[in-house]
Chain A
Amino acid sequence: MTVEITTLEQPIDAMYLIHKALRGEADRTVELARRLENGCSLQAFKLAFTAWATAIMYHAEKEVGTAMSNSVDESRRAAAHDPVERAKWSLLEQEDSEYARLLEGVQDVMTVLEEDIGSTSVISRTKQHLYGQVIALRVAQEDHLETEEAMVIPLLRENLSPDSQLTVVGGLLIDRDADDQRWVIDWISQDLTPKENELLLGLESRINQAQPVAL
């Protein structure tokens, strides 16, 4: 069951909206892989997978080595004596490798698709392999999102000022290198409820006020 996000107490809580969209992409792709029949076209599956893979790659690029891990005051890490707190810091450090694993999963699906290149319809073996790889990718993604929500987001809430959080989230939601800088927001929005979309738009205004988007 999908739970509606009713409030963004802090800007970093926007991560839950992003996660919801990533989960939506995963579920759609897995469902399409599950429903592939021998002889049918791979086109719908390829489109869904491309959307999911693009989102994972974009977030890997934006989260890895960026404000996510770099904005935090390292002296606070040294002060962490509680085992749970220490584990949170360890997991924040692992963000890079977590995304590397997800990207490996994306590559594994692409390898199956490349092996199938040239064929216009799916055969039983391709179907099974695609299904297996997208399930494995969804498992890796869910582990990552779940851990991030339990350990990393609370750590960032406690250790980043609201302004810093806004900078981090702005980097994730606004693609300043793209022609359409709002594409991430538009992408997330498709999996959100009207209330969640209101929260997202409110946050977008705050980001734009803090860091005006170049036109």
Chain B
Amino acid sequence: MTAENIHKLEDPIDVMPLMHKAFRAVSDRTEALAAKASTFEDIAELKEAFGYWVKQILYHATVEDEVMTGPLKNSQPARDNEAEHAELAGKAGELAAFIAKGKAAGLEESVRDAAFTLEEAQHKELEERFHEVESALQEVLGEKKVTARTIRHIHSRLIGVRILELDHFENEEAFVVSLVRDEVDEAGQLYIIRRLLIDESAEDPRWIIDWVYSELDSADQALLKDLETRFQAAVAQPA
């Protein structure tokens, strides 16, 4: 099932493509910000947008691992799903660390990447001169080009994270959602979905579901509203 052809949520787990649609929207928006960024101030805006995306994806992945795939013992698709979460979190974390390095991060990365392709002896020699080469390039290129290089690298890395995310969603919708539909009863599915959409530990427990609503069109919002009514009414806990 894809997000484009949902008319009715037969099973609660069928809401997953709607949540994925919200993630696609936020990742598309963040990539568009990176594509048009040109100044250090733009990087700060990008940092905030990417931070929000990462916050959402980390919560989503952690809860899925805990309440959706964790209980599915002896299931390779479930383990693959968890491994994809770990890879996605790893890449997102690397990008967050890269952005935090500041405007010369791209220059540092390009100088070091080139060095790592050299023979070990050459690499050791260059290692000693990394800062000299970086400083010289910074001086000759000037701040504008140094910042532009970092933005290029952020954009490319961001696309890498988005691709991992999209591949993961596609795999999850193809292999895991159907498994959950078969293996978990309706009460259990409602519990999973409630945990994914409502964060009881947060000051504002609705921070996820309200964000998902904001990313959907009115038809999808109606489907989600119907599901919310169902899981709010349910008192069942997973078996």
Q: What is the total number of residues of chain A having a CB less than 8 Å from a CB of chain B?
A: 28
In the bound complex, residues from chain A placing their C-beta under 8 Å from that of B163 are 128-129, 132
In the bound complex, do residue B137 and residue A147 qualify as a contact, i.e. CB atoms below 8 Å apart?
A: yes
In the bound complex, do residue A83 and residue B137 qualify as a contact, i.e. CB atoms below 8 Å apart?
A: no
In the bound complex, residues from chain A placing their C-beta under 8 Å from that of B160 are 132, 136
* Residue in A88, A125, A142 whose CB lies within 8 Å of B167: A125
* Residue in A86, A93, A150 whose CB lies within 8 Å of B137: A150
Whole-angstrom CA separation of A87 from B140 in the bound complex: 11
Is B184 an interface position by the 8 A CB rule?
no
Q: Which residues of A line the B interface, CB within 8 A?
A: 83-84, 86-88, 90-91, 93-94, 97-98, 100-101, 124-125, 128-129, 131-132, 135-136, 139, 142-143, 146-147, 150-151
Q: How far is the CB of A140 from chain B (nearest CB, A)?
A: 8
In the bound complex, do residue A146 and residue B141 qualify as a contact, i.e. CB atoms below 8 Å apart?
A: yes
Q: Known contacts being A83-B135, A84-B140, A147-B110, is A90 close to B156, with CB within 8 Å? A: no
Is B153 an interface position by the 8 A CB rule?
yes
Say which one of B60-68, B113-121, B209-217 lies at the interface with A.
Answer: B113-121
In the bound complex, do residue B140 and residue A151 qualify as a contact, i.e. CB atoms below 8 Å apart?
A: yes
Give the dominant DSSP class at B's interface: helix
In the bound complex, residues from chain A placing their C-beta under 8 Å from that of B113 are 101
In the bound complex, residues from chain B placing their C-beta under 8 Å from that of A129 are 163
* Residue in B110, B136, B139, B140 whose CB lies within 8 Å of A143: B110
In the bound complex, residues from chain A placing their C-beta under 8 Å from that of B117 are 97, 100-101
* Residue in B114, B141, B152, B156 whose CB lies within 8 Å of A101: B114
* Residue in B137, B145, B149 whose CB lies within 8 Å of A151: B137
Q: How far is the CB of A2 from chain B (nearest CB, A)?
A: 15
Q: Known contacts being A94-B118, A125-B167, A135-B155, is A150 close to B110, with CB within 8 Å? A: no
B109-149 CB mask vs A (1 if < 8 Å, else 0) is 01001110110001000100100110111011100010001
Find the residue from A84, A87, A125 having the highest chain B CB count within 10 A. A87
In the bound complex, residues from chain B placing their C-beta under 8 Å from that of A143 are 106, 110, 149, 152
Whole-angstrom CA separation of A83 from B126 in the bound complex: 13
Whole-angstrom CA separation of A193 from B171 in the bound complex: 48
In the bound complex, do residue A90 and residue B133 qualify as a contact, i.e. CB atoms below 8 Å apart?
A: yes
Chain A residue nearest to B119 (CB atoms) is A97
Whole-angstrom CA separation of A84 from B137 in the bound complex: 8
Chain B residue nearest to A95 (CB atoms) is B114
In the bound complex, do residue B114 and residue A97 qualify as a contact, i.e. CB atoms below 8 Å apart?
A: yes
Find the residue from A125, A132, A151 having the highest chain B CB count within 10 A. A132
B52-75 interface (Cβ within 8 A of A): none
Q: How far is the CB of B130 from chain A (nearest CB, A)?
A: 10
Is B159 an interface position by the 8 A CB rule?
yes
In the bound complex, do residue A135 and residue B159 qualify as a contact, i.e. CB atoms below 8 Å apart?
A: yes
Whole-angstrom CA separation of A93 from B170 in the bound complex: 44
Is B6 an interface position by the 8 A CB rule?
no
Is B179 an interface position by the 8 A CB rule?
no
Question: Which 4 pairs show the lowest CB-CB distances between chains A and B?
Answer: A87-B136, A97-B117, A143-B110, A84-B136
B153-168 interface (Cβ within 8 A of A): 153, 155-156, 159-160, 162-163, 166-167
